[in-house]
Amino acid sequence: MNKVTINTAVKIQITCMPPTYNLFRSVNPYFCRMFPQAPLLTLRGHQGAVYDLAWDVTDRSWVSAGGDGVVARWSFGNTDGTALFQHTSPFFAVTVWDDLVLGGNHTGELFVKTPEKHTVYTPHKAPIFALFIDGQNRLWSGDGSGVVGMWSRDGHDLRLEQQWNTSLGKIRHFSSHPQGLLVAGGSGQWCVLDESCTLHPGVQAHARSCYWALYFEAKNVVLSGGQDGQLHVQRDDESLLTLDVHQSAVYRGLIHGSTLWTCGRDKDVKTWSLDSLDALDKLELPHTRSVNAMTLGGPDGAHLATGSDDRSIKVWAL
């Protein structure tokens, strides 16, 4: 992996923006936030797009999945990366399961790195686009044909417990839900897979691919982003609101306190108030091409990492 220099000049801008949406009836007339305008670190070394990112709490490092067929580890504060897996096909998904690093690639193979070795499983016949560890410490995998797998582990050995065929198209994202698991797919729908292993009817949140869906407990709603550039808000069977938030596909969304972060194909990374869904701010020219990946991490959980088609990973202090 290549070395890069550290850009230590970080500008801070205070932004005050009037509310534009009143869905949640915020009592605050204005929002003032300290917002970083330059990254703390830029990590370079991938020779292809960065498609996914994860934070390894135990190893205090970022883990990245690349279109160059590399899954790499980046120790916090260090710009030198180490390749954990290398393959001839792209890696689209990565996650950390206690002391294991897992990568899902275009061939449908699941790569598992233990402290001593790495193992390859072949659970899927289509590319693996999503990996997730739930609150019960189970692994979920999803592929390009709509198949969802649930895994358990015995030490460093993994076991595929069950698989579901869905009508969601490409499985793009998993997240937690009070009833079980939220699953987002290429059909534009998200659905709930409950604890009794029943797949509930899908919610058609987007006209085209639904790239992510997140449950926001404070408002009892599901937020989702799609290929249509929209943020959709759903409560049970009721569609509450649809907002145009990016100029094209919204590839990732994540919740940090009372803030929703989104990123997309339009090269932007934006923030939204979860009190009101008002636009707060956006990172200034975070990447030169599509922003595909985004995750929270750092030793105190107060850093954001973004990954892009421009082959770089950038780390921002929140």
Residue 21: the pLDDT is 41
Taking domain 12-317, whether its CATH number is 2.130.10.10 is answered by yes
Residue 220 pLDDT: 97
Within 8 A by CB and 6+ apart from 213, the residues are 173, 175, 182, 183, 184, 190, 205, 222, 223, 224
pLDDT for res 34: 53
User: What confidence score (pLDDT) does residue 111 get?
Assistant: 98
87: which 2 tokens?
């393959």
Residue with tokens 């960065």: 50
Q: Model pTM?
A: 0.89
Q: How far apart are CA 260 and CA 255, in angstroms?
A: 5
Averaged pLDDT, groups of 10, the chain, 318 residues long: 33 34 42 67 97 97 98 96 96 97 98 93 97 97 98 96 96 97 98 95 96 97 98 96 97 96 97 95 94 96 96 96
Q: Residue type for 133, please? A: I
Task: Compute how many other C-beta atoms are within 10 angstroms of the C-beta atom of residue 77.
Answer: 13
Domain regions of the chain by residue span = 12-317
Q: What is the pLDDT of residue 37?
A: 73
